[in-house]
């Protein structure tokens, strides 16, 4: 028996309908099993998650251990150094925050490096696409813009934003965007971030053996570090990407595996940083490469995105999106992908083997992310086309030599993507009076009950897309407007909720608003770093007035129902520290009935922050969020308005006068 046959014989067979609600992924999983190909779904089924790790009851920060505590009796034992369960959990949690924040802030810093080189004229392949936004952001953080050259403003903006990373003392620049009362809470508890490098370094230091051994003190540094991601590194990534590549405005685009085209050279870009994808867009439109594809017998070159790279490009350019995180291996099973270029984050090492099985050319491009056995074509920002042209050329060669049957799921879902904070402002208020006032008014009058951010990954430990879709449907049915990013956005787009017609799934108040404005009940804001757009929207809701003085007062909630990455933990912690009730699904890396758990799930709220929640069932999760929104409405004194969803003019005037 050869090795391949042996592997096929020991392969776990899935009950496919239990692991995904994505029809295209299900179709490809069936094919993968026929072909004897293994995916992360199979590996998850074959490998039980480690229960000690899942509960964070293990400490391996020194070689006196690793020490294993007992989740069922968390205070029955301590580590060899004497560390209690709360110290161990807080340290493990802190390291997840540090790693997640590092990923986002390093991405943001790459965007800022590119911006500097473009502004100083050293890179000519990219340029400033949104000078209006450049001036608006500069002005907001105190840079004088009147009568000045764009280049001077841009260089000042670069210098100012560099502080987001390198500053050793003082507050990060975007702290100026934080509502005063929220900022006061941060100052009171000493969690206003200085610079991301300092915060991440300090958190790594404090979680070293024998340093910070007070879970409350560690939690403070978790918040400070996470805030340096949300209001720092991620926000810089979003703002600089908008300035360089354009601020998203609504665009009709398609998602799902049916975006692949059998008769064209198919290229997928997967990862997170938009500069690679922007260059690839230029490459696939190069007449000489199109000609080469045609000479190879193709009808053209088809560029498709996945994961957050795809979310950036569907938002800015309407580039089709083939699927979220748990579909990145299965799409290769189509046999139709001629090349996949990846940069950083969420790139499964398992892609290499699947790509090999189907002859797809897989390329890593970023110096931070190589994969053993995978060809690396380094992407240099000073000569970006060298890398992306080469990927296209390789894809054309693979197209010419396709030698196995192709099966592309015939599923495409059209929808409207590309909402940004700026566009929401315009959409609700019009060109001359762009404002969040109509949103606040509709929340106050009860047509919209509140706003929920539903974001984050997919995870083979739960049925792919199912929790995202059911949660969002339940929220909009109850008049909660939903904003989304990342892989969650793609789950809902595949389920058809990104069309204005989906308004019929919303409750009467929300559907009325959607129909009046012509918007879907679910708004996609882009990639995971674009969660910063949700923070900005929250600040704006506070600034406009009528919904309290801090983010913690707003009738809003957040969820990452199928999360898997450490970045998600950092995102969760910065939303909580900003004042938002944030619920995670799948599993929560802390034992219940410990002091650290109580602090995260309850204590933080009493200190003026938000709090964490956990639920696996989408309906339970939705109702926890709705209950929280109702609690905030009550505290604001707008709970009675909700009883009479449709108000007449007299009601409105009474409310305004109140």
Contact set with ligand XCC (CB under 6 A) = 272, 307-308, 324-325, 346, 456-457, 486-487, 527-528, 565, 567
Tokens 């696939």 belong to: 284
Edge to edge, what strands does the sheet with 413-417 contain?
375-376, 361-364, 339-342, 265-270, 301-306, 321-323, 251-255, 413-417
- What is the closest distance, in whole angstroms, from the C-beta atom of residue 110 to ligand XCC in the complex? 15
Residue among 346 and 444 whose Cβ is closer to ligand XCC: 346
- What is the closest distance, in whole angstroms, from the C-beta atom of residue 500 to ligand XCC in the complex? 25
Q: Alpha-carbon dihedral of residues 378, 379, 383, 387, nearest 10 degrees?
A: 70
Distance CA 79, CA 602 (A): 26
Residue among 325 and 614 whose Cβ is closer to ligand XCC: 325
Distance CA 300, CA 284 (A): 9
Instruction: Output the six-digit token pair for 345.
Output: 């984050």
Instruction: Yes or no: say if 78 and 190 are a contact pair by the CB < 8 Å rule.
Output: no
Residue among 272 and 417 whose Cβ is closer to ligand XCC: 272
- Asked if the peptide bond before residue 543 counts as cis, ω within 30 degrees of 0, the response is no
Pairing of strands 301-306, 321-323: parallel
Question: If DSSP codes are grouped into helix, strand and coil, which group holds residue 460?
Answer: coil
Residue 518, Ramachandran bin (φ over 0: left; ψ between -120 and 50: alpha; else beta): left
Residue 48, exposed/middle/buried by CB under 10 A (0-12, 13-18, 19+)? exposed
Residue among 362 and 487 whose Cβ is closer to ligand XCC: 487
Residue among 461 and 623 whose Cβ is closer to ligand XCC: 461
Instruction: Output the six-digit token pair for 100.
Output: 């997640």
Distance CA 446, CA 330 (A): 43
Query: Each residue of 407-436: b (16+ CB within 10 Å) or e?
Result: bbbebbbebbbbbbbbbbbbbbbeeeeeeb
Distance CA 623, CA 206 (A): 37
Edge to edge, what strands does the sheet with 581-584 contain?
522-524, 480-484, 450-454, 556-560, 581-584, 612-614
Distance CA 336, CA 267 (A): 9
Residue among 343 and 512 whose Cβ is closer to ligand XCC: 343
- At residue 479, what are phi and psi to the nearest 5 degrees? 65, 25
Residue least distant from ligand XCC (Cβ): 457
- What is the closest distance, in whole angstroms, from the C-beta atom of residue 347 to ligand XCC in the complex? 9
- What is the closest distance, in whole angstroms, from the C-beta atom of residue 561 to ligand XCC in the complex? 11
Residue among 456 and 561 whose Cβ is closer to ligand XCC: 456
- What is the closest distance, in whole angstroms, from the C-beta atom of residue 488 to ligand XCC in the complex? 7
Residue among 342 and 502 whose Cβ is closer to ligand XCC: 342
Residue among 213 and 458 whose Cβ is closer to ligand XCC: 458
- What is the closest distance, in whole angstroms, from the C-beta atom of residue 103 to ligand XCC in the complex? 8
Instruction: Count other C-beta atoms under 10 Å from residue 31's C-beta.
Output: 17
Residue among 270 and 317 whose Cβ is closer to ligand XCC: 270
Distance CA 141, CA 160 (A): 8
- What does the chain come to in residues? 658
Instruction: Count other C-beta atoms under 10 Å from residue 616's C-beta.
Output: 15
Tokens 């290499």 belong to: 352
- What is the closest distance, in whole angstroms, from the C-beta atom of residue 585 to ligand XCC in the complex? 13
- What is the closest distance, in whole angstroms, from the C-beta atom of residue 311 to ligand XCC in the complex? 7
- What is the closest distance, in whole angstroms, from the C-beta atom of residue 308 to ligand XCC in the complex? 3
Report CA 18 to chain centroid distance, whole Å: 25
- What is the closest distance, in whole angstroms, from the C-beta atom of residue 401 to ligand XCC in the complex? 31
Residue among 29 and 346 whose Cβ is closer to ligand XCC: 346
Residue among 241 and 565 whose Cβ is closer to ligand XCC: 565
Residue among 239 and 479 whose Cβ is closer to ligand XCC: 239
Instruction: Output the six-digit token pair for 230.
Output: 């949300």
Residue among 446 and 561 whose Cβ is closer to ligand XCC: 561
Sign of the Cα torsion 222, 228, 233, 238 reads positive
- What is the closest distance, in whole angstroms, from the C-beta atom of residue 77 to ligand XCC in the complex? 34
Distance CA 443, CA 479 (A): 10
Question: What element of type H or E holds 362?
Answer: strand 361-364
Give Cα separations from 641 to 406, 482, 552, 637, 644 (angstroms).
56, 20, 20, 9, 6
- Residue 193 half-sphere exposure, CB side, CA atoms within 13 Å? 36
- What is the closest distance, in whole angstroms, from the C-beta atom of residue 562 to ligand XCC in the complex? 9
Residue among 456 and 555 whose Cβ is closer to ligand XCC: 456
- What is the closest distance, in whole angstroms, from the C-beta atom of residue 101 to ligand XCC in the complex? 13
- What is the closest distance, in whole angstroms, from the C-beta atom of residue 575 to ligand XCC in the complex? 14
- What is the closest distance, in whole angstroms, from the C-beta atom of residue 324 to ligand XCC in the complex? 6
Instruction: Count other C-beta atoms under 10 Å from residue 373's C-beta.
Output: 10
Identify which of 246, 265, 239 has the alpha carbon closest to the alpha carbon of residue 313: 246
Sign of the Cα torsion 209, 212, 216, 219 reads negative
Sign of the Cα torsion 57, 60, 61, 62 reads positive
- What is the closest distance, in whole angstroms, from the C-beta atom of residue 622 to ligand XCC in the complex? 20
Residue among 344 and 514 whose Cβ is closer to ligand XCC: 344
């Amino acid at each position: 028996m050869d090795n391949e046959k042996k592997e096929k014989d020991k392969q776990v067979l899935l009950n496919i309908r239990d692991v995904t609600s994505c029809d295209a992924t299900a179709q490809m999983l069936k094919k993968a099993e026929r072909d004897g190909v293994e995916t992360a779904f199979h590996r998850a089924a074959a490998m039980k998650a480690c229960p000690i790790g899942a509960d964070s009851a293990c400490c391996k920060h020194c070689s006196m251990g690793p020490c294993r505590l007992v989740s069922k009796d968390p205070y029955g034992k301590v580590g060899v150094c004497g560390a209690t369960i709360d110290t161990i959990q807080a340290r493990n949690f802190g390291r997840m925050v540090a790693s997640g924040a590092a990923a986002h802030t390093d991405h943001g810093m790459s965007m800022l490096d590119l911006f500097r080189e473009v502004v100083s004229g050293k890179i000519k392949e990219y340029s400033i696409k949104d000078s209006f936004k450049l001036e608006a952001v500069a002005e907001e953080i105190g840079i004088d813009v009147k009568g000045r050259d764009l280049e001077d403003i841009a260089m000042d903006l670069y210098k100012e934003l560099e502080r987001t990373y390198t500053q050793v003392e003082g507050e990060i620049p975007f702290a100026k965007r934080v509502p005063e009362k929220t900022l006061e809470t941060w100052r009171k508890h000493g969690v206003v971030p200085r610079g991301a490098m300092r915060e991440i370094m300090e958190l790594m230091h404090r979680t070293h053996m024998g340093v910070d051994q007070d879970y409350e003190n560690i939690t403070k540094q978790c918040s400070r570090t996470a805030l340096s991601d949300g209001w720092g590194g991620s926000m810089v990534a979003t703002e600089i990407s908008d300035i360089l590549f354009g601020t998203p405005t609504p665009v009709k685009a398609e998602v799902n595996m049916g975006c692949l085209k059998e008769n064209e050279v198919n290229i997928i870009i997967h990862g997170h940083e938009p500069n690679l994808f922007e260059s690839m867009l230029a490459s696939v439109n190069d007449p000489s490469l199109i000609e080469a594809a045609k000479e190879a017998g193709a009808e053209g070159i088809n560029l498709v995105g996945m994961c957050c790279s795809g979310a950036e490009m569907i938002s800015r350019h309407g580039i089709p999106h083939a699927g979220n995180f748990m579909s990145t291996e299965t799409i290769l099973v189509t046999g139709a992908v001629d090349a996949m270029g990846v940069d950083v984050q969420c790139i499964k090492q398992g892609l290499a083997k699947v790509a090999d099985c189907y002859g797809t050319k897989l390329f890593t491009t970023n110096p931070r992310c190589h994969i053993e056995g995978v060809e690396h074509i380094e992407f240099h920002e000073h000569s970006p086309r060298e890398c992306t042209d080469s990927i296209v050329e390789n894809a054309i060669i693979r197209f010419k030599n396709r030698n196995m049957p192709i099966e592309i799921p015939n599923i495409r879902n059209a929808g409207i993507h590309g909402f940004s904070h700026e566009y929401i402002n315009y959409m609700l208020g019009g060109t001359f009076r762009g404002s969040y006032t109509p949103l606040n008014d509709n929340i106050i009058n009860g047509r919209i009950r509140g706003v929920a951010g539903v974001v984050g990954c997919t995870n083979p430990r739960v049925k792919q897309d199912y929790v995202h879709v059911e949660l969002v449907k339940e929220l909009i049915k109850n008049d909660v407007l939903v904003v989304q990013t990342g892989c969650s956005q793609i789950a809902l787009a595949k389920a058809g909720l990104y069309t204005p017609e989906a308004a019929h799934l919303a409750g009467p108040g929300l559907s009325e608003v959607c129909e009046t404005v012509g918007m879907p009940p679910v708004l996609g804001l882009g990639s995971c770093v674009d969660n910063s757009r949700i923070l900005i929207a929250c600040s704006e809701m506070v600034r406009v007035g009528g919904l309290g003085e801090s983010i913690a007062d707003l009738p809003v909630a957040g969820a990452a129902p199928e999360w898997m990455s450490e970045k998600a933990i950092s995102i969760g912690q910065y939303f909580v520290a900003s004042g938002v009730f944030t619920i995670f699904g799948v599993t929560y890396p802390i034992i219940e009935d410990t002091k650290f758990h109580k602090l995260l799930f309850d204590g933080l709220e009493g200190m003026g922050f938000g709090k964490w929640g956990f639920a696996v069932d989408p309906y339970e999760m939705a109702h926890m969020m709705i209950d929280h929104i109702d609690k905030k409405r009550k505290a604001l004194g707008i709970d009675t308005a909700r009883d009479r969803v449709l108000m007449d003019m007299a009601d409105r005037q009474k409310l305004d006068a109140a």
